[in-house]
């Protein structure tokens, strides 16, 4: 059994945590035992993994921050953490190290210094463009394999493969069987949340952070509610320490000022570990993000038969265009977002067609076992490449 050290920098449960959770058992069957090494900063990521039996080690794990002054200070912290990361990698007896995002290059440097194969995952376009352009070629010097959630996300990291590293494409893992069972409890969950059984629920799921564009979603909700008062927007997610003040001040206050919360048109729900259960209430899934990869939540919604309205960011267009399961709109445009939502609300046959297409796409392309097999191939290639280098004395 070979050991993978999966470094996750963010404290709040998100895409990398979901990947670790869903793939642990399947990868173990394929001979890869994954341990998550994550930050000890406040958040629900580590606890949710541990509750589900995923091995976790929490350490002081600095990461680059936005803003020039914060970036400079955090860069010093990141660079000074490399000796400690080397020690952790050795203590955990890692046969391979995996990390997400070029902004976390220090993990790759530490792994290479420890003589361990390195896999870099590109899960989205969350890092600023200038950072992606400037850091990608540096990261390329230390990694053996690239894994990416789509060709668009890959293209947004220029020069990441200047050493001709292979690229393994994958879609985030989704437990389709469990989601189908949960989808049968729709009315029960609506009652639990106090929703009118006759209301049409427009749903989104994602951490309460600026990149999710929920301020734009609130503006679009105001337009939709004026025309179709039976629509309820449910925003599922979790607060993050860095952005809680921003979110309450910018997003929730705006919803209050528009009278949307008072009239029950918009509800903000901290879903936590109940996210999948609450996902069952949706009739339509919406993504208003300004940066993404392929959101796990979108694939989960599709697995429950929801049509999608999404901003055309990250690799989302690749999924929507191939699946024919939704409508794409430009980011930061509440008018276009509202128009697309209304188009599906007012055209049930079209919504039903997208729903059927979503189910077919997920059934054919999204699977935990398939995702694990891609990971195992990427891991195996990285290890073989490292062995070959050692034999050549490189």
In this structure, are 361 and 220 located in the same domain?
A: yes
In this structure, are 235 and 102 located in the same domain?
A: no
**Angle of helix 316-323 versus helix 348-365 axis, rounded to 10:** 110
Per-residue pLDDT at 337 exceeds 90: yes
In this structure, are 83 and 147 located in the same domain?
A: yes
Per-residue pLDDT at 241 exceeds 90: no
CA distance 231 to 322: 28
**Domains of the chain: total:** 2
In this structure, are 351 and 385 located in the same domain?
A: no
In this structure, are 68 and 92 located in the same domain?
A: yes
Distances (CA, A) of 309 to 30, 240, 306: 36, 25, 10
In this structure, are 150 and 196 located in the same domain?
A: no
For residues 301-326, average pLDDT: 97
In this structure, are 188 and 329 located in the same domain?
A: yes
Helix, strand, coil percentages, rounded to 5, for the chain: 50, 15, 30
CA 285 to chain centre: 15
pLDDT, tens digit (0-9, with 9 covering 90-100), for 16-25: 999 999 999 9
CA distance 175 to 213: 27
The strand pair at 231-237 and 200-205 is best described as: parallel
In this structure, are 352 and 371 located in the same domain?
A: no
Nearest 5 degrees, angle CA 276-CA 307-CA 324? 125
Confidence of residue 392 (pLDDT cuts 50, 70, 90): low
> What is the model's pLDDT at position 181?
85
Domain that holds residue 158: 2-173+367-392
CA distance 173 to 157: 23
Residue 93 per-residue DSSP state: T
In this structure, are 90 and 215 located in the same domain?
A: no
| Contact present, 19 and 50 (Cβ < 8 Å) | no
In this structure, are 376 and 337 located in the same domain?
A: no
CA distance 200 to 351: 12
Per-residue pLDDT at 68 exceeds 50: no
In this structure, are 222 and 274 located in the same domain?
A: yes
Q: Model's pTM, two decimal places?
A: 0.93
- Tell me whether residue 254 is exposed, middle or buried, using C-beta atoms within 10 angstroms of its C-beta: 0 to 12, 13 to 18, 19 or more: middle
* CATH code for position 279: 3.40.50.2000
CA distance 26 to 376: 10
Minimum mean pLDDT range among 6-10, 107-111, 250-254, 274-278: 274-278
In this structure, are 25 and 119 located in the same domain?
A: yes
> What is the model's pLDDT at position 388?
64
What is the share, in percent, of the chain residues with pLDDT greater than 90?
85
């Amino acid at each position: 059994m070979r050991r993978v050290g999966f470094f996750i920098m963010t404290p709040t449960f998100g895409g990398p945590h979901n990947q670790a959770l869903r793939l642990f058992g399947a990868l173990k069957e394929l001979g890869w035992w994954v341990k998550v090494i994550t930050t000890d900063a406040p958040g629900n990521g580590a606890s949710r993994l541990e509750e589900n039996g995923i091995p976790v080690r929490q350490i002081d794990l600095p990461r680059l921050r936005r803003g020039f002054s914060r970036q400079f200070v955090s860069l010093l912290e990141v660079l000074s953490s490399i000796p400690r990361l080397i020690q952790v990698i050795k203590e955990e007896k890692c046969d391979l190290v995996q990390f997400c995002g070029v902004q976390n290059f220090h993990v790759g440097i530490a792994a290479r210094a420890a003589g361990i194969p390195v896999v870099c995952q590109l899960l989205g376009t969350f890092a600023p463009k200038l950072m992606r352009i400037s850091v990608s070629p540096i990261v390329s010097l230390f990694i053996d394999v690239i894994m990416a959630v789509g060709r668009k996300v890959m293209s947004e990291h220029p020069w990441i493969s200047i050493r001709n590293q292979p690229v393994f494409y994958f879609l985030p893992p989704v437990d389709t069987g469990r989601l189908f069972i949960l989808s049968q409890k729709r009315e029960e969950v609506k009652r639990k949340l106090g929703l009118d059984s006759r209301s049409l629920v427009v749903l989104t799921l994602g951490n309460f952070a600026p990149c999710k564009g929920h301020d734009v979603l609130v503006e679009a909700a105001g337009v939709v509610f004026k025309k179709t008062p039976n629509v309820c927007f449910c925003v599922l997610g979790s607060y993050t320490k860095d952005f809680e003040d921003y979110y309450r001040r910018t997003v929730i206050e705006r919803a209050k000022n528009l009278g949307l919360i008072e009239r029950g048109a918009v509800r903000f729900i901290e879903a936590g570990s109940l996210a999948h259960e609450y996902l069952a209430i949706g009739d339509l899934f919406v993504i208003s993000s300004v940066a993404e990869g392929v959101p796990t939540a979108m694939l989960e919604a599709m697995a429950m038969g929801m049509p999608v309205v999404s901003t055309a960011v990250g690799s989302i267009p690749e999924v929507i265009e191939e699946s024919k399961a939704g409508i794409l709109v430009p980011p930061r445009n509440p008018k276009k977002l509202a128009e697309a939502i209304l188009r599906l609300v007012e055209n049930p046959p079209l919504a039903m067609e997208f729903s059927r297409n979503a189910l077919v796409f997920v059934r054919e392309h999204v699977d935990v076992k398939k995702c694990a097999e891609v990971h195992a191939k990427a891991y195996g290639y990285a290890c073989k490449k490292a062995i070959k280098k050692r034999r050549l004395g490189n």
